[in-house]
Amino acid sequence: MPSEPPKFTINSVIGEGDSVVAYGDMMMKDKEGKTNPYAFCDIYRFRDSRVVELTSYVIKTSKEKSIV
């Protein structure tokens, strides 16, 4: 059974110099098929208009937020 992709809401994108940070909320199903809420923060570093580094943090949250 193929897994379903998470549903994302990006709350903010902040850029400075060669770095961009995006953070927001997402809903993702676990192995049992239950949908759970998470928060994420992705940090991108660019060189010559290409992503050269990505650091990503994801934490499970206690309640669902509105996902568009």
Tell if the pTM clears 0.85, that is, is over it.
no
Would you kindly state where each structural domain of the chain is located, as residue ranges? 7-60
The answer to whether residues 46 and 30 touch, using CB atoms and an 8 Å cutoff, is no
The answer to whether residues 44 and 66 touch, using CB atoms and an 8 Å cutoff, is no
The answer to whether residues 64 and 42 touch, using CB atoms and an 8 Å cutoff, is no
- Where does the pLDDT of residue 2 fall: very low under 50, low under 70, confident under 90, or very high at 90 and above? low
Compute, in degrees rounded to 10, the torsion defined by CA atoms 15, 21, 22, 23.
-130
pLDDT in tens, 22-49: 999 999 998 888 999 999 999 999 999 9
Architecture of domain 7-60: Roll (3.10)
